[in-house]
Structure formats: C-alpha cells, structure tokens
Chains A and B, each alone.
Chain A
Amino acid sequence: MKENSAIERLYNGIVKENPTFVLLLGMCPTLAVTTSAINGLGMGLTTAVVLTLSNVMISLLRKIIPNGVRIPAFIVVIASFVTIVQLLLEAYLPFLNEALGVYIPLIVVNCIILGRAEAYAYSHGPVSSLFDGLGMGLGFSVALTAIGAVREILGAGTLFNMAIMPKSYQPIGIFVLAPGAFFVLACLAAAQNYVKRKLAAKGKDVSKIGSGCGHDCLNCSEGACTERTAALKEEDK
C-alpha cells in the first residue's frame, strides 16, 4: 500500500494503530459510555466527526500556526468543533445528547484527537489528514461499539435493545454498571498483553502497541509526556 494514501490511512486507523485496541488511548470515554452498543456507537461517531473536521482544519492552518503556540491553537480548533457538534446533537439527536451528557464536551480532552493533530495533521496535507482522521475515528467507533455490545449482551442480554439471549439467560447486571467497565477493560488489556508477548517471542516489532495514557488526558499521546514520565520515574525511586 502506498504511504499516506486514503486506503492506507483508513487501514492504519481501523486495524494497524486502532486507538483503543492497539494504543489503549482515550480510556475515560471508553469506560464511561460503553454501557450499551448504541451509546458506544454514538460516542464513537461523534468523536470521529470532531476528529475528522479538526484534522482537516489543522492541516489547512498548519503553515499559519506558529510552532510555539501550536498546542493552544489545536485546543481552540478542537473545542470549537466540539461545541458545534454538541449544539447539533442537542437540536437533532436529543436522546443521544442526554445519554452521553458531560462526555460530549469532554471530547475536547480526548487524547486521540490532540494526538492525531500533533502527530499527523500538523505535518501532512488536508486530504491525507482527512482520511487519517476518518480512519482513527472509525477505529475508535468500532472499538467502542464492540465493547458496548459485549457489556450489553452480558449485562442485559440484549444487543441494540433487541433481546438476543435465550430466556433462560440470567443477565449479569454488574457489567452495565461501573465495575463491569473496569473488568471488561482489564480483560481487553490482558488480551493485548498476550498478543504482545506472542509477537515479541516471534521477534516482531511491538513498539507500536501502547499501554494507555500515563497522566494527562489531553497531552498523554506521542512524545508529549515522555519527559514528565521520566521526572515521575525519578520520583518513584
């Protein structure tokens, strides 16, 4: 596949560098809104829209934004799109707005968005940035929907509000409550660990497989916090 082509970017976002399954980024929304498949899908698509729009806008502005103030500039662009999307949801999809509540404005601090702006959109053209945002956003949506589906099936015996489990199935209510979110994510992280070990044993490169954010929701991705993490490690000693 040609580097930075549309297909390569989509594949990269959905499979190769899937923000949730591979990089384990953006955990706060992942845990909070995946109580059902429909909520997960709604959150995923909302994030995808913001991510795509902000990627394109930042890519268009990349020659104008000075390097020194790029992070505040990114934040303003992202926050503007989040506000627009929030107002649109309030007007046209009020049930989704109600279900996701405060997590919609909190998309601003989703590290996937700022991470892509910093790592990709700021140094690439608008078309490939568009597909990069679309790929990452769809990857996030797929992951949230899948996690939401697992929790909904186990916790309520339904999928997209349709009963799919046999009548004899006793729903494990805890999976749609807060503790269930931690358990599901723990299993996911364990599966990721397992794959990573298998790949490492075969001598493959596993440096891309991340283990989530460290400290700061917005600035955790890429190199942004390596020096701070180093400072904390000193502290730990």
Chain B
Amino acid sequence: MENVKELLIILISSSLVSNVVLSQFLGLCPFLGVSKKTDTAAGMGGAILFVITLSSAISGIVYQFILSPLHLEYLQTIVFILVIAALVQFVEMFLKKFMQPLYKALGVYLPLITTNCAVLGVALTNVQKEYGILAGIVNGFATALGFLIAIVILAGLREKMAYNDVPESFKGMPHVLLTAGLMAIAFCGFSGLL
C-alpha cells in the first residue's frame, strides 16, 4: 500500500504541482513553438509522453544495471544523452516499419524531441531523487502528462486569442509568453495540493 501511495504522490506532484514547463522551464521550445493549434499540440504532447516514458524506463535500467554496479555514475550525462538519442531514432524506425498509424500520428514530432531538455531532465531527475525503475517510469509518465496538459491548454488559449488586438511590439512571442506566465500563476495554486 505504502508503495502505491508513494507512486500516486509522484504522479500528482510531477504532473501538476511542479509542472515541467510552467515551473521547471524544461521543454520550452516545443511548448512555445508547436502550440498554434490544438491538434498539433496534442500530437506533440503524445509524442513527448511516449518518448519520455520509454526513455525514463531505459535510462533507469541502464543506470541500475550498468552504471551503478560498475561505479560509473559520473558518466550519467554522457550515457543518457547518447542512449536517448539512439532510442528515439530506433523508435522512429520501428514505428515506421511496424506501426504505420502511430507513425503517421507522431512521426513529424519524433525527430524534434530527440534531444529535448525535458527528456534528459527527467532521466537526470530520476537519478537525483534516487527513484527506482518503477518510480522513475511513473515520474516520467507524470512529467510528460503535465507537459501534455500545459501545451493543450496553451494551444486552446492561442486559438482564441489569435485575432486579439495587442500592441504591435507584443504580437507573437511576447504575447504567448505573457499567457504562459498567467498559466504559471494558475498552476502555482496546485502547490497546496500536497
């Protein structure tokens, strides 16, 4: 029981309380770059969910069974980035060959997130917080879920405000950043949850 409770806490805290983009600022590039339309945003979120969950599983296994027994913990940064980059390439080829529908849905986004800081960030956080493999996977899933929630909300807002009358200099990126700031204030409210 204790274990389930722990995992549930990780799930809530990583997805809502310390949201990956709005309070940790990881993965800002796709968050700002691919949030013009809700469909594309959801596709990006789905791809991130897929990649982060998978990569936290793989990097957890690599850390527990290879780096840790050999006392090579200090190589984690190098190993993780190479493992993740290779993994995404492999997943892309695998999907292309065997799962056409999924590839059609996620294909465009996969190469964009090979070396996203959120993906590496989750792998490193898992090690830093000394999560086991299962807890690491839950943490990865929850973090990516938080990203999905945030990017879909932002895309919804951007669709609504595309034709708003804003000062000339604030058009585009500044406008989006202000919106993200307001969303971050709203997400601060979740900190009372735990």
Contact = CB atoms under 8 A, between A and B. Distances in A.
The answer on A and B forming one complex is yes
Contact of A75 (B34, B85, B116, B175): B85
B188 A177 contact: yes
B78 A217 contact: no
A76 B82 contact: yes
Nearest to B116: A217
Given A187-B174, A213-B33, A215-B30, A232 B115 contact: no
A53 interface: no
A66 interface: no
A191 B74 contact: no
A102 B121 contact: yes
A216 B113 contact: yes
B134 interface: no
Nearest to B173: A189
A217 B81 CA distance: 13
A218 interface: yes
Contacts of B27: 28, 217
Contact of A212 (B32, B37, B181): B32
B142 interface: no
Interface in B86-134: 108, 111-117, 120-121, 124-125, 128
A87 B175 CA distance: 40
Given A28-B28, A182-B181, A236-B36, A108 B81 contact: yes
B180 interface: yes
A190 interface: yes
Interface string A117-139: 00000000000000000000000
Contacts of A218: 114-117
Chain A: number of interface residues, binned into ranges: 35 or more
Given A189-B174, A190-B170, A214 B33 contact: yes
A102 B29 contact: no
Interface in B157-180: 167-175, 177-178, 180
A3 to B, nearest CB: 31
Contacts of A14: none
Contact of A213 (B29, B111, B113, B171): B29
A172 B76 CA distance: 39
B33 A215 contact: yes
Nearest to B75: A83
A211 interface: yes
Given A105-B124, A106-B120, A232-B108, A217 B115 contact: yes
Interface in A21-67: 24, 27-29, 31-32
Interface of B: 22-30, 32-34, 36-37, 40, 74-78, 81-82, 85, 108, 111-117, 120-121, 124-125, 128, 167-175, 177-178, 180-182, 184-185, 188
19 contacts: A75-B115, A79-B78, A105-B120, A177-B184, A178-B25, A179-B181, A179-B188, A187-B174, A189-B177, A193-B173, A212-B173, A215-B112, A216-B29, A216-B30, A217-B29, A218-B114, A218-B116, A218-B117, A232-B40
